[in-house]
Amino acid sequence: MASSIKLTGFVQVDLEPLITIKQMCKKLDISRSTLYRRVKAGRVISPVMKNNRTIGWNPELIQAYTTV
């Protein structure tokens, strides 16, 4: 018996990579521990998880955050 696969919807492709923790620390000129303290306090946007493995910050959100 042959099985058939029906694809529906669209595949989302991220063209812009996430900002890594090293890049984020350099951009804000703070240490890694200070960054996580600020995230916990709600002073910095929380990182997002990609593919259940990689965490980082969305470049568009960070650009909006740093220009305010």
The alpha-carbon radius of gyration of the chain (Å, integer) is: 17
> What was the pLDDT predicted at 50?
83
Encoded amino acid at 8, one letter = T
> What was the pLDDT predicted at 30?
95
Kindly give the confidence (pLDDT) of every residue in the chain, 68 residues in length, as a single tens digit, with 9 standing for 90 and above: 555 555 555 555 555 789 999 999 999 999 999 999 999 999 988 998 888 888 899 888 877 766 55
Question: To which residue do tokens 């919807």 refer?
Answer: 9
Q: What phi-psi label fits residue 43: left (phi over 0), alpha (psi between -120 and 50 degrees) or beta? A: alpha
Dist. CA 51–CA 36, nearest whole Å: 21
Sign of CA dihedral 38, 40, 42, 45: positive
